């Protein structure tokens, strides 16, 4: 019963989140939107468009 309550609470929070709909919708075959990522030392910034014509592998992960 407790798991069901947490599931319903989580689903409700996700459905009413202000972040819903902020993500861009990208279709297969369309170019990825340009974005900038700072280097680990913070001195350099890398843009996705700098790598145009090259294959880019992006790992997107998080740890809570």
Confidence of residue 16 (pLDDT cuts 50, 70, 90): low
Say whether 25 sits in a helix, a strand or coil. Answer: coil
Helix, strand, coil % in the chain, rounded to nearest 5: 30, 10, 60
- What pLDDT, on the 0 to 100 scale, is given for residue 27? 83
- What pLDDT, on the 0 to 100 scale, is given for residue 3? 75
Q: What is the mean pLDDT of residues 33-54?
A: 88
């Amino acid at each position: 019963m407790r798991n069901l309550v947490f599931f319903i609470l989580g689903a409700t929070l996700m459905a009413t989140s202000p972040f819903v709909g902020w993500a861009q919708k990208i279709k297969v075959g369309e170019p990825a939107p340009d974005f900038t990522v700072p280097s680990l030392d913070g001195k350099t910034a890398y843009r996705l468009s700098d790598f145009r014509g090259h294959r880019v592998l992006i790992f997107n992960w998080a740890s809570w």
